[in-house]
Amino acid sequence: MSKVGNVLFWLAAIVVHFLTVCTYIFVADGSGFFVEILQTHNYIVHEPQRQIAHYITQFPLVWGLNIGITNFRILVLLFALGHCLHVWVSLVMAYWIAGKEHVYRFATIPLLVLLVCAGFLIGQAFVAASYTLVIALGLLNWQTTNLPKKVVITLVALLSFNVYEGAFINFAALTVIAVYNFTTNKPNKDWVSRFLQIGLVVVIVSYGSFMGFRAVLAPLNAAGQQTIAESDLYFTVFFTIAIALYWFVLRVFAINWVIASILILGSYFFTWYIPETVMDAYTNRLLILLIPTSLILAEWAVWVLKPFIKWNTVNYGIPLVLMLLGLLMFRAIPSYNHQYQVAEFCHNRKGVLQHNEVYQLYYPNYELWWTNIYTSIIYQGFVYGEVNSIAGNPIKCDFCYDVENYKTYPDLREYGIEYHKSLVP
If pLDDT is split at 50, 70 and 90, which confidence band does 37 have? very high
pLDDT at 11 over 50: yes
Longest CA pairwise span in the chain (Å): 77
**If DSSP codes are grouped into helix, strand and coil, which group holds residue 288?**
helix
- Is 352 contained in some domain? yes
Last residue of a domain, one of 315, 332, 349: 332
Structural domain total, the chain = 2
Q: Same domain for 306 and 343?
A: no
Which residues fall within 8 angstroms of residue 197, CB to CB, at 6 or more apart?
142, 150, 182, 187, 188
In tens, the pLDDT along 314-359 reads: 777 787 888 888 888 887 887 788 888 888 888 888 888 877 777 6
Residue 231 and residue 286 in contact, taking contact as beta carbons nearer than 8 Å: yes
Cα-Cα-Cα-Cα dihedral sign, residues 62, 64, 66, 68:
negative
**Element holding 418 (H helix, E strand):** strand 418-419
**Element holding 115 (H helix, E strand):** helix 108-117
In tens, the pLDDT along 42-80 reads: 998 877 878 888 899 999 999 999 999 999 999 999 999
Whole-number pLDDT of residue 222: 45
Last residue of a domain, one of 286, 311, 332: 332
User: For residue 373, what are the domain limits?
Assistant: 333-419
Instruction: Determine if the peptide bond prior to 364 is cis (ω within 30°).
Output: yes
- Is 171 contained in some domain? yes
If pLDDT is split at 50, 70 and 90, which confidence band does 224 have? very low
C-alpha 190, offset from chain centre: 37
Q: Same domain for 289 and 381?
A: no
This prediction's pTM: 0.85
Count the residues in the chain.
425
Average pLDDT on 1-13 reads 82
- DSSP-derived secondary structure letter, 188: P
If pLDDT is split at 50, 70 and 90, which confidence band does 274 have? low
pLDDT at 212 over 90: no
Last residue of a domain, one of 299, 332, 365: 332
In tens, the pLDDT along 145-183 reads: 888 888 888 888 888 878 877 777 787 788 888 888 777
**If DSSP codes are grouped into helix, strand and coil, which group holds residue 42?**
coil
- The residue among 146 and 368 whose pLDDT is bigger is 146
What distances in angstroms separate CA 292 from CA 198, 210, 297, one per listed residue? 24, 20, 9
Q: What angle do CA 357, 372, 351 make, to 5 degrees?
A: 55
**If DSSP codes are grouped into helix, strand and coil, which group holds residue 234?**
helix
Q: Same domain for 255 and 364?
A: no
**What percent of the chain has a predicted confidence (pLDDT) above 70?**
77
